A and B are shown apart, each in its own frame.
Chain A
Amino acid sequence: AQSVTQLGSHVSVSEGALVLLRCNYSSSVPPYLFWYVQYPNQGLQLLLKYTSAATLVKGINGFEAEFKKSETSFHLTKPSAHMSDAAEYFCAVSENDYKLSFGAGTTVTVRA
């Protein structure tokens, strides 16, 4: 079975600083990997996805992620944090055509 580990349940950054959220996966086959964001009292919104076309994936709101097979990682970054980036972020892997397996999530707070 495929699984996802997100390192760090909480991350606090200053406005304008780099945001780095870590995600490692385990998979016996080439995975489909996703990052989702959840704002309070809302559902999840897709930030970006990796489907083997390119190792560096650009998403919405200035986020990007790099797939590193040798490290089994798919870390999410944003060069400059904005107050509106405060939310919970989930890394997910597609186990097959029919489901996503999510990490435990990382809550991001942005300090003014």
Chain B
Amino acid sequence: KAGVTQTPRYLIKTRGQQVTLSCSPISGHRSVSWYQQTPGQGLQFLFEYFSETQRNKGNFPGRFSGRQFSNSRSEMNVSTLELGDSALYLCASSRETAYNEQFFGPGTRLTVL
């Protein structure tokens, strides 16, 4: 079956702009999590959605937001981009919870200039 897909794979934006990233989970998976990966901070949890409800949120400013649709697809949005938002954004899906195996997508590489 198809894996987790993320679009776009690469993005270049300038400071102050906003960006929307998309994630399509594996069919049948209802939990979608987002992580930010940077060389300095490593992998950090952004938020997790299950059946269109945010169940957990990491320690990120309000400029970072997300949502999940009824088909389990998820989007995350970053407004008023800062240079420090440059990162690889990873989406992961699982059946129910983080205790289940999380399947990761290839990520979206965001560069903020």
Give which listed residue, B44, B45, B96, B104, contacts A44 with CB less than 8 A.
B104
Which A residues touch B98, using CB under 8 A? Answer: 32, 94-100
Asked if A70 is at the interface of the complex by the 8 Å CB criterion, the answer is no
Chain A nearest Cβ from B35, distance in angstroms:
8
Given contacts A97-B99, A98-B98, contact A105 B104 (CB under 8 A): no
Number of B interface residues in the complex (CB < 8 A): 26
Measured between beta carbons, the chain B residues less than 8 angstroms from A90 are 43
Q: Contact size class for A?
A: 20 to 34
The 8 A CB mask of A82-96 against B (1 = contact, 0 = none) is 000000001000111
**B51 sits at the interface (CB 8 A):** no
Assess the B99–A99 pair: CB atoms within 8 A.
no
Measured between alpha carbons, how far is A43 from B107 in the docked complex, in Å? Answer: 6
Contact residues of A: prevailing secondary structure: strand
Q: Kindly report which residue of chain A lies nearest to residue B98, judged by CB atoms.
A: A94
Residue B58 at the chain A interface, CB threshold 8 Å: yes
Q: Are A98 and B106 in contact (CB under 8 A)?
A: no
Asked if A98 and B101 make an inter-chain contact with CB atoms under 8 angstroms apart, the answer reads no
Q: Which parts of B19-72 form the interface with A (CB within 8 Å)?
A: 31, 33, 35, 42-45, 48, 50, 55-56, 58
Asked whether, in the complex, the Cβ of B45 is within 8 Å of the Cβ of A99, the reply is yes
Closest-by-CB residue of B relative to A101 is: B45
A46 at the interface (CB under 8 A from B): yes
Pairs across A and B, CB under 8 Å, 17 listed: A36-B104, A42-B106, A42-B107, A44-B92, A45-B104, A51-B99, A95-B98, A96-B56, A98-B48, A98-B50, A99-B58, A99-B98, A102-B35, A102-B43, A103-B42, A104-B42, A105-B43
Further 15 A-B residue pairs, CB within 8 A, beyond A44-B102, A96-B56? A43-B4, A43-B90, A43-B92, A43-B107, A44-B90, A51-B99, A94-B98, A95-B98, A97-B99, A98-B48, A99-B33, A99-B56, A100-B45, A102-B42, A105-B43
Residues of A within 8 A of B (CB): 32, 36, 41-46, 49, 51, 90, 94-105
